[in-house]
Amino acid sequence: MTTGDAKDPLNVLFLCTGNSARSILAECIMNREGVGKFRAYSAGSMPTGKVNPYALNLLKKLNYDLSSLHSKSWDDFTGPDSPVFDFVVTVCDDAAREMCPVWPGQPMSAHWGLPDPAKAEGTDAEKALAFDDTYRMLSQRISIFVNLPLASLSKLSLQEQLDQIGKHGAASAKELA
C-alpha cells in the first residue's frame, strides 16, 4: 500500500457490473471527498458503454465535472500503464444476485453492496429518487472511509473497517475506530 500523502494518493477502484451508475457515483464522490488523499476510478465487468442519464443529471445538479466520465471495462485497468490499486470496492447488490466482479491481485478489497438504481421502475421522479438514495448511501460510506485513521490501523484492522462500512454505511468513523 502506498503512503497516501499529497504526493502519492491511494488509488481506489470501484467496480460494478455495468459501470453506469453506482461505481460512477462512487468514483465522483471519492474524488471530491478524498481529494489529495485518494484517487478514484470505476469500471465494470460488463460495461453498458454509457453513463446512466439519471446519474449524469444528479452529478450535474451537484456540480461535479462530467467531462471525463464514461462507462469502461475493468480490462482497461489491467495493462502495464494502469494505476496500481490500493483498494478495490465492489458496489453491486448481493440481494439482487447480480454478478459482482472479483478483482485479482494485491489490493485490499471490500464489498459495499447497493441496489442498482438503474433498475428502478416508476416515474422519472421515482427513478431520480433511487439515484439520490444510492448517492446518499455511497457518500456516507465514502466519508467514513476517507476519515479512517489509515496510518494507525493494521492491515487486518483496516480490512475489518472496510467490511463494516459495507455492512453499516450509516455508522460514523468514530464508532468504527
Among 16, 91, 138, 158, the one annotated catalytic: 16
> Does residue 101 contact residue 44 with C-beta atoms inside 8 Å?
yes
How far CA 8 is from CA of 1, 85, 87, in Å, comes to 11, 12, 14
User: Which amino acid, one-letter code, is at 96?
Assistant: A
> Does residue 54 contact residue 128 with C-beta atoms inside 8 Å?
yes
User: How confident is the model at residue 130, as a pLDDT?
Assistant: 97
Domain that holds residue 28: 10-134
**Domain for residue 166, yes or no?**
no
Among 21, 24, 92, 118, the one annotated catalytic: 92
What's 49's domain CATH number? 3.40.50.2300
Among 1, 46, 66, 100, the one annotated catalytic: 100
**Domain for residue 94, yes or no?**
yes
Please report, in tens digits, the pLDDT of each residue of the chain (177 residues total). Answer: 544 444 689 999 999 989 999 999 999 999 999 999 999 999 998 899 999 999 999 999 999 999 999 999 988 988 888 888 999 999 987 544 566 655 556 789 899 999 999 999 999 999 999 999 999 999 999 999 999 999 899 989 999 999 999 986 544 444 444
**Domain for residue 59, yes or no?**
yes
For cell 484492522, the residue is 157
**Domain for residue 49, yes or no?**
yes
- Asked if 28 is an active-site residue, the reply is no
**Domain for residue 121, yes or no?**
yes
pTM: 0.88
- Of 133, 145, 151, 110, nearest in space to 54 by CA: 133
Q: Tell whether the torsion through CA atoms of 66, 72, 74 and 78 is positive or negative.
A: negative
> Does residue 142 contact residue 40 with C-beta atoms inside 8 Å?
no
**Domain for residue 21, yes or no?**
yes
**Domain for residue 75, yes or no?**
yes
Alpha carbon distance 45, 75 (integer Å) = 8
User: Total domain count for the chain?
Assistant: 1
For residues 40-52, one letter each, b for 16 or more C-beta atoms within 10 angstroms of the residue's C-beta and e for the rest, the string is bbbbbbebeeebb
**Domain for residue 97, yes or no?**
yes
